[in-house]
Amino acid sequence: MALKQTSFSSAEFAAKKRITRREQFLADMEQVVPWAELEAVIAPVYPTGMRGRPPIGLSRMLRVYFIQQWYSLSDEAVEDAIYDSQAVRAFVGVDLARESAPDATTLLKFRRLLETNELTQRMFIAINATLTEKGLLMRSGTIVDATIINAPPSTKNAEHKRDADMHQTKKGNQWYFGMKAHIGVDAESG
């Protein structure tokens, strides 16, 4: 067994006290996503490295693909995110002291492999089945609605102040004072 030496940046990152929302989300996804099942779906068509340069591990490429989807990143942007974020590097499994991040061309080829072999739909079905077993729900569409809740703009109250949570906004040609409410609903289940 080879010893793995920790880099200074990894040691510094590990010593920090606060867990970011991104770290928490990625930790949750590490537990929820059925990685082994998804790898089994892709493995039959994934390059083995018998010809050309050796491929990047399927597990790593799958995680990079999910980062790209979760954060709506382009191929170049996800490559940059790996270099910029220690949390993303840890999730993907890239140690910059030993290797570089997968480049944008490699990410493009992986996405095309998934699309050409129609694997994204099979992956979506596998994830939905796992989430359903755990009592969770994931669908491909969300309906979002925004509305304005009116409030009196008056300062005739005990404190002689307007409500700090309320703001002025314009809808069409009409000005309103109040609060915006955004509501998201699953398109399929409501």
Q: 2: helix, coil or strand? A: coil
**pTM of model > 0.75:** no
Question: What number is the average pLDDT over the span 53-62?
Answer: 85
Tokens in use for 89?
């590097």
> Is 36 a residue whose pLDDT tops 60?
yes
Answer whether 85's CB lies under 8 Å from 92's CB.
Answer: no
Instruction: Report whether pLDDT(155) > 70.
Output: no
What pLDDT, on a 0 to 100 scale, did the predictor assign at position 1?
A: 44
Mean residue pLDDT of the chain comes to: 79
Q: What is the pLDDT of residue 3?
A: 46
Question: What does R_g of the chain's alpha carbons equal in angstroms?
Answer: 23
In the numeric block, the tokens 């300062």 are attached to 155
Please report the pLDDT score of residue 99 as a whole number.
Answer: 81
User: Given a cut of 60, is residue 32 above it in pLDDT?
Assistant: yes
Given a cut of 80, is residue 186 above it in pLDDT?
Answer: no
Q: What is the pLDDT of residues 58-94, one digit of tens each?
A: 999 999 999 999 898 999 999 999 999 999 999 999 8
Residue with the bigger pLDDT between 160 and 66: it is 66
pLDDT at 12: 60
79 vs 16: which has the higher pLDDT: 79
DSSP letters, 84-116, are: H-HHHHHHHT--TTT-PPPPHHHHHHHHHHHHH
Residue 146, strand partner residues: 182
